[in-house]
Structure 1
Amino acid sequence: MANDGLQRPLSRIHIKDLRLRTFIGFNDEEQRKRQDVVVNIRIDYDALPAARGDAVAEALDYKTITKEVIAHVEDNRFLLLEKLVNDLVEIAMAHRPAVQAEVEVDKPHALRFSDSVSLTMSASRAPR
């Protein structure tokens, strides 16, 4: 297909509702018992080279990112939601095609009368 002069914004990969279990929190019960967390990750990148050439090497490897996130969450302990979310942003941004990443982690039932508490962080770099 010919380039028709269209300007395109970055594309977005969205890893939705990744349900994991980890040790998170600083009270005694939280230190002894794994809790559910729900992870949502949005990564913006230039998908056009991959799309135009059907080129796997040009695509963002979201499967690898997801595996890294799962291992990190399940194999570690976190006192603060802030630490967990920051770590996951850094994992996403470690993949060079990523121009911007936003990570939200929900901690279901963290507060009485609330479905969940969540924290969102993001990072970005200049596009290549």
Structure 2
Amino acid sequence: MTIHIEDLKFQCIIGILDFERITKQDVIVNLTIDYNNENSFINYADIVQIVKENMIKSEFLLIEDALNSLNLKLIKEYNSIKSIKIKITKPSILPDCVVSVSNHYKSQS
């Protein structure tokens, strides 16, 4: 099975620039989670809550750190996950484009 969470939008502190450390900005998170559903299911509402809480609480400097943290948190919480693709977008950081960083993680289990 595959869960798709698209365009999850909220505000948090993320970035290395001075103004990014004091002013929350919009972020958009997209996830694709492949999982084994033989013995369980994954509640997508719980995934949304985990993502938002982790990013808001952690105030990451780098998007890359946020990606890695989300991956570790989700695979620790759900051992049925086979792979996760996460994309984090900062839609308003530059005036002439939208910036995103993404990664695809495969579970070691």
Bin of the TM-score, shorter chain as denominator length: 0.7 to 0.9
* Structure 1, gaps ≥5 residues long: 1-10, 51-57
Per residue, is there more strand in 1 or in 2? 2
Query: In the alignment, which residue of structure 2 is the partner of 1:28?
Result: 18
Q: Which has the larger radius of gyration?
A: 1
The percentage of counterpart residues that share the same residue type is 29
After the TM superposition, which residues 50-89 of structure 1 pair with which residues of structure 2 at under 5 Å, given as runs? 58-89=40-71
**Larger RCO, structures 1/2 (Cα 8 Å, 6+ apart):** 2
CA RMSD of aligned residues (A): 1.6
Q: CA deviation at 1:126?
A: 5.8
TM-score normalised according to structure 2 size: 0.88
* Structure 2, gaps ≥5 residues long: none
Match status 1:43 vs 2:25: no
CA–CA separation in structure 2 for the residues paired with 1:19 and 1:42: 16
Query: In the alignment, which residue of structure 1 is the partner of 2:91?
Result: 108
CA–CA separation in structure 2 for the residues paired with 1:83 and 1:69: 13
Query: In the alignment, which residue of structure 2 is the partner of 1:120?
Result: 102
Q: CA deviation at 1:125?
A: 2.5
Matched positions, count: 108
TM-score normalised according to structure 1 size: 0.76
Q: CA deviation at 1:119?
A: 0.6
